[in-house]
Amino acid sequence: MPPDSSLLTVGVPKETSGHERRVALVPADVRSLKKAGLEVLVESNAGLRAGFLDAQYLQQGARIALDRAELAAAEVIVHVRAAGADPQEPFAVGETLRENQILIALCDPLSDPRPIAALAERRVTTFALELLPRITRAQSMDVLSSMATVAGYKAVLLAADASPRMFPMMMTAAGTLTPARVFVVGAGVAGLQAISTARRLGAIVYAYDVRPAAREQIQSVGGKPVDFGLESAEGQGGYARAMDQDFYKRQQAAMAKVVAESDVVITTAAVPGKRAPVLITTDMLAGMAPGSVIVDLAAERGGNCEATRPGETVDVGGVTVLGPLNLPATVAHHASQMFSRNISAFLVHLKKHGLPTLDTQDEIVRDTLITRDGQVVNSQIRDRLAAPVS
């Protein structure tokens, strides 16, 4: 059947970075978009590396574009990673887009604003999913939470794999094995998922967060909250705020004993828009038993551990320090499924609010919109562009 020319088309390209295995939209969400009045055009084999075949998209009513050029017909392009969210190729996605096309993707616009300026120059309309307000009605669109869930889960598997110990307590004919002791630093979405995954594997799990509200959440997933007697560092919107070096020094000193007694430490501490705080110094690693493992989920933001090298695994006096990057891409099937459900909810929301016209009275539209009509329309990004390069 020929496409209905009155409908808007959503294009789903292959991701540009060779390391990216996810796809922004999976076959199961095609029908809900069609119901909302959106056609779906998928670049051939876009979902292959996440386990989704062209035939499955066709079955659900999508069309297949033989190459990237055919996607020029789509009014909206959905990507997993574009601009600063793809640090290897931050300008690559922009170069494939045409004037007035709408891009919806993770863009990490506050880390590197230059690719955002390039999108504005091309007169692309861009929505950055990181800027979605964390309000109840936007929960179904919250890509950051979905990807943090996947990363928290996978971090525990990496730790279990790198550790010379098994996680559960075992009573066997060959003696009793004690359970692994895991310490999770930062109990946001990724940290809470790491706690529950480590618990499922049978570890004893301790956890700490600078937000007092995290205490109950740690307990609710089976962790033991540790109290270091430090003041709350809760900031706006339920996020942590940046503290001074004195606070982090006191936190390091308070955590040293728990770190030394842990077989595995998983760090997830982040402060929005800032470099991750250094919470585990190289001196603290010297107190850990050889064979201990650190998985630093903050590696992308510079790392919570002084010894972390983003993207690498290093051995520091017998302690293995992992600094994995883009972990959700390593669980591409389910990460894509979650991403797709979120982005579909976002698209349906835009459609209800008049897409292709953009209703900037709506908080979700307003907060996520970063380029339009040749301008960067987000003031934080504009400030960053105006700031001298350090």
Residues forming the active site: 134, 139, 142, 145, 239
> What whole-number distance in Å separates Cα of residue 285 and Cα of residue 336?
36
In angstroms, what is the minimal distance from the CB of 300 to ligand NAD?
11
Closer Cβ to ligand NAD, 96 or 308, answer by number: 308
> What whole-number distance in Å separates Cα of residue 41 and Cα of residue 280?
47
In angstroms, what is the minimal distance from the CB of 164 to ligand NAD?
27
Task: Let me know if 161 is exposed, middle or buried by CB neighbors in 10 A (0-12, 13-18, 19+).
Answer: exposed
In angstroms, what is the minimal distance from the CB of 385 to ligand NAD?
23
Closer Cβ to ligand NAD, 107 or 187, answer by number: 187
Contact between 208 and 228 (Cβ < 8 Å): yes
Count, residues in the chain? 390
In angstroms, what is the minimal distance from the CB of 360 to ligand NAD?
21
Q: Write the CB contacts of 325 (distance below 8 Å, at least 6 apart in sequence).
A: 299, 300, 310, 311
Closer Cβ to ligand NAD, 10 or 299, answer by number: 299
> What whole-number distance in Å separates Cα of residue 4 and Cα of residue 39?
8
Is residue 181 within a helix (H) or strand (E), and if so which, with residue range? strand 181-185
Closer Cβ to ligand NAD, 244 or 373, answer by number: 244
In angstroms, what is the minimal distance from the CB of 35 to ligand NAD?
25
Give the residue at shortest CB distance from ligand NAD: 188
Residues that bind ligand NAD in the complex, under the rule CB under 6 A: 134, 139, 142, 144-145, 148, 185-191, 208-211, 214, 238-240, 251, 268-272, 277, 279
> What whole-number distance in Å separates Cα of residue 1 and Cα of residue 263?
60
Whether a cis peptide bond, with omega within 30° of 0, leads into 179 is: no
Contact between 153 and 194 (Cβ < 8 Å): yes
Closer Cβ to ligand NAD, 138 or 381, answer by number: 138
